Amino acid sequence: MVSCALFMELLDGTVIATALPQMARSFGVSAVDVGVGISAYLVTLAVCIPVSGWAADRFGGRRVFLTAIVVFTLASALCGLAHSLPQFVLARILQGVGGAMMVPVGRLVVLRTTAKHELVRATALITTPGLVATVLGPPVGGVITTYASWRWIFYLNVPIGILGILLTLLYLPQDDDAESRPFDTSGFVLSGVALAVLMLGLDDVGSGEHLAWAAPLIALGVALAVVAIRHARRAAHPLLDYQLLRVPTFAASVWGGTCIRLIVGTTPFLWGLLFQVGFGRTPFVSGLLVLACAVGDVGTKAFTTRAVRTLGFRTLLVGASLLLALGILACALFAPTTPTLVILVVLFYIGVVRSFAFTGINTLAYADIPPAQMSAATSFASTLQQLSFGIAIALAAIVLHVAALAHRGSTAEYTVGDFRVAFVVVAAIGVLAALNFSKLHPDAGHTVSGRRRFTAREAPTPA
């Protein structure tokens, strides 16, 4: 049920971009205008995700999760039925409210109902659909808009949502132990406005539209974020609890995980542009190439639990980060003459490695979090995840822009050389992630990984 929710939200977030021209013709506006629908959704997510932990504690995780799926599914149907841009934007805002509660609370429900020693396996199961959805989105959107109506992008969420509702009603236990924790109104306003402004600025950079507004919006968002953090450190019951960063495993997952998510967020964007703009492939063929990464993701999940238990979190995450950086560097060597089989193998390899990385990151985050702080941890982590994916697209666009200016003094079009620079920069982020994870204790997260701890008495006796 949580997998259904995660797949539905992430697929919806990535599939819509390919349908913008067709939607614009349907509404009688420009494609740029329809982009407001994407921005409205992202901003609503950013504003409402911090509330998810408080809502789960106040009203119960099962009740909030079920309501969120209903809202998201209903809003998806309304998006498909929209006949004007204002109707569509309002439906997307409603969809964002449902999505903001759906995935963080769903993850919280799994954390609360899963034993520590089963957490790695459970995390692997719920993260797979999300990784696959980020890769499937563009080709699925291309197929739908080519052979059907854009409205089916949203109608597809309806049966998935109904399945999630039924599974929740059948299998998710009741949790009526509500906690009457005060709502941090000031924190909600400050963090909400800061995240909304930041997401708008990052969206402007990523889309290439309204670039003159991007820098002021990002600067204002950062300034407001500083004020929000100062408030959170003084508040008795902050909406976003920064004290969680004192937990070493959670902090390592936050900082290293942000690096990995930047890689995961930038690569589909760069691959799509490289294959189409640089190599002259069709959108459909480009999407099929990227599917190799999804195949690697799915095919590896059966082995991730054993890998964590055999290697431990530190070794696994350091190794996966470096291997991921190596795979991204290989992408920098792609040329129009590169055999298709080589491209498929490299993308499959990247999918395999990032599957191990994501399972490790998403499990390590909650390894040492006390049950009473679990809802705060999921809200905090989910907020940063949403922000990191927004930063990823903006980062890819900025690097391409700077590379084009450095090479030719113009950004009229990108060349293969520009993409090579971008892939090198993204690979360097993988090295930063490895450095972050290398600071972990060798036994970090051992209660979750199940890896036997090594003690001095177990040391081999010298011959």
CA–CA dist 279, 404 (Å, integer): 17
DSSP state letter for 337: T
Residues of the chain whose pLDDT is less than 70? 1-7, 10-15, 17-18, 31-32, 116-117, 124-139, 142, 175-180, 206-211, 283, 409-412, 450-463
Are 157 and 81 within 8 A, CB to CB? no
* pLDDT at 263 (0 to 100): 92
Cα torsion 429, 192, 101, 4: sign: negative
* pLDDT at 462 (0 to 100): 43
Q: In terms of Cα–Cα distance, which of 353, 271, 360, 280 is closest to 315? A: 360
* pLDDT at 459 (0 to 100): 43
Q: Residue 76 CB: number of other CB atoms within 10 A?
A: 26
Q: Rounded to two decimals, what is the model's pTM?
A: 0.80
CA–CA dist 278, 415 (Å, integer): 6
* pLDDT at 463 (0 to 100): 38
Length of the chain: 463
Angle between helices 2-15 and 157-171 (to 10 degrees): 160
Are 289 and 343 within 8 A, CB to CB? yes
The shares of helix, strand and coil residues in the chain, as percent rounded to the nearest 5, are: 80, 0, 20
CA–CA dist 201, 390 (Å, integer): 10
* Type of residue found at 455: T
CA–CA dist 347, 352 (Å, integer): 9
Cα dist from 15 to 11, 231, 336, 347, 456, whole Å: 6, 37, 26, 20, 53
